[in-house]
Amino acid sequence: MKAVTWQGARDIRVVEVDRPALAHPQDVILRVTSTAICGSDLHLYTGNFPKSSMAKGDILGHEFMGIVHEIGEGVKGYKPGDRVVCSFDIACGHCHSCHHQLFSLCDMSNDSTAQEALYGDKSGGYFGYSHLTGGWAGGQADYVRVPFAEQNLLKVPENHARHTDLDVLLLSDVLGTAWHACEMGEVKEGDTVAIWGAGPVGMLAAQCAQHRGAAKVILIDQELYRLEFAEHRLNPRTLVTLNGRQLKQQNCGVAKAVREILPHGPDVAIECVGFHYASTFLHRAEMTLGLETDPADMMNEIFTTVRKGGRVSVVGVYVGHVNHFNFGCFMEKGLTMKAGQTPVQRYWKMLLEKVEKKELDPRVIITHELPLEEAAKAYQIFNNKENGCVKVVLHTKFYKGQYLEKEKGVKDEEVAGAGGSH
C-alpha cells in the first residue's frame, strides 16, 4: 500500500509499505478514503518536535476516515463496508482516564516512557504523531489499523448524498479541537473572545464561538490572506480581524489593538498557534541553542491582553520547557487557564448532529484537495502558506467523492461516484 512517511525535517515521501494486519480482537483495518494534514503535523514536518521521538519511515496522519475493511473477532458494532470517521486520539474506553471522558489521556494506549520523564505522566496514544505518543502508524495511507475500534470509530449516517467526506472528515480532530477550545474557555452567550491563530483550528474555534453566542470574536494572525479568508467564511456581524504583522509595522502591539476594541480586554482568550512559532529574537535564539523547547511569546501576550479575571484556553501544541513565562501577570490578574489535547470521542456525536443541522460547517476551511501521492507538495504549500492554503485534504485511490477542484493527474474514474459537489 502507499503511505506518507517522515524521512527527516521537510522530507516527506510517499512510499510502498506492507499493509497492516489485525493484531488484536478489538482491531479494525480501515480502508482510508480521505485524510487531512493538521497544523500540528507541521511541527513534525519542520523538525521542531523532539528529534529523538521520530524515526525514518514513520507513517504520518491523525485526521482520517474511510471504509471498514476487516474486523477483529471482538468487534461487534461495526462490519466490513461501514463508513466511519476515526478519532485522532486512541482510547481504550475502560481505564481511569477514559472513565472520566479524558480519552486523549487514555492510560492504556501509549507505552512510551519518554513522556513520563518530561511530565510525570503520559498522554494517550495518537495516530501518526511520534513515538512520544505511542509510535502508532498514522492514517495518511491506503490502510490503517485502528485499535479499540468500538471506542475510536464513529459511524457515518448512510445518506452519502448529505454526508460527503468533506462534511464529516474533520470530526476526527480539528472540529472537535475547536469546540474543546470553547469548552475550556467556557464561551457562552454574550462573551467577548479573542483567538490567536487564524489557521484551521482558529477559524473553526471562531465559528464555534459564534455558534455559542459570543457577542464579538477577534481573530488574530500574521497572514493577511487567512484573515481575509475568515472574513468571507465566518459571520461578519460579530467578527473582527487583526493582522499582527501590520500592527508591528505600525508600532502597535496586539494587546493595545485589542484594548482599543474591548477596553477591559476579552472575556476569553484562545491560543491556537503552538510552540514552534516564536515571535521574538530572544525566544528564537534560546530555542535554537536548546535552552528552551517552547517560546513564551504568545502566552505572555495573551496574559496581558485578556481582561482581569479572564479565561484562557490553550489548544496549540506545547511540548516542554518555557523561559520568561510571565506567571506573575497570570496570578495577579486572577486568570484561569485550561489546556490539553482534545478528547474527540466526548464531542463527536453532538458535533455530527450540529453538522447535519448545518449549525456548524467544517468544510468552510478546506481550500486544497490532492491525491495522497502528492503529499509532499501538500505539506510544502501548507507549511509555506502558498496558494491561499488554509486546510489540505488528501484522497486515496479509494475515494469516490468529488473534489472541490479536480486536481491535475487524478483520473476521472477515481473522483467520480457518490457524494455531493462543493
How confident is the model at residue 404, as a pLDDT? 64
Query: What digits encode the pLDDT tens for the residues 291-328?
Result: 888 889 999 999 999 999 999 999 998 888 899 999 99
Looking at residue 372, which CATH number applies to its domain? 3.90.180.10
Helix (H) / strand (E) element for 415: namely helix 412-415
Residue 272 sits in the same domain as residue 408 = no
Residue 160 · residue 419 · CB < 8 Å = yes
Residue 310 sits in the same domain as residue 390 = no
Residue 202 sits in the same domain as residue 333 = yes
- What's the CA gap between 343 and 270, in Å, rounded? 17
pTM of the model: 0.92
Domain of residue 83 covers 2-173+343-415
Burial grade of 51 (CB within 10 A; 0-12, 13-18, 19 or more): exposed
Residue 154 sits in the same domain as residue 230 = no
Residue 28 · residue 154 · CB < 8 Å = no
- What's the CA gap between 118 and 96, in Å, rounded? 21
Residue 36 sits in the same domain as residue 107 = yes
Three-class DSSP category at 393:
strand
How confident is the model at residue 208, as a pLDDT? 98
Three-class DSSP category at 56:
coil
Q: Beta-strand (E) ranges in 25-173?
A: 28-37, 58-59, 63-71, 83-86, 89-90, 125-126, 143-146, 153-155
Q: Which residues of the chain have pLDDT under 70?
A: 159-162, 276, 404-422
Residue 80 domain-assigned? yes
How confident is the model at residue 47, as a pLDDT? 87
Residue 331 sits in the same domain as residue 369 = no
The phi and psi torsions of 61 (rounded to 5 degrees) equal 110, 125
Residue 63 · residue 139 · CB < 8 Å = yes
- What's the CA gap between 216 and 236, in Å, rounded? 10
- What's the CA gap between 382 and 60, in Å, rounded? 15
Residue 23 sits in the same domain as residue 131 = yes
Which residue, of 317, 339, 361, is where some domain finishes?
339
Residue type at 393?
V
Q: Beta-strand (E) ranges in 61-206?
A: 63-71, 83-86, 89-90, 125-126, 143-146, 153-155, 192-196
Residue 204 sits in the same domain as residue 167 = no
Total domains, the chain: 2
Residue 157 domain-assigned? yes
Task: Extract the C-alpha cell encoding 83.
Answer: 463508513
Looking at residue 316, which CATH number applies to its domain? 3.40.50.720
Beta bridge partners of 240: 218
Residue 302 sits in the same domain as residue 405 = no
The candidate with the shortest Cα–Cα distance to 81, out of 93, 67, 71, is 67
Residue 275 sits in the same domain as residue 405 = no
Residue 373 · residue 14 · CB < 8 Å = yes
How confident is the model at residue 422, as a pLDDT? 26
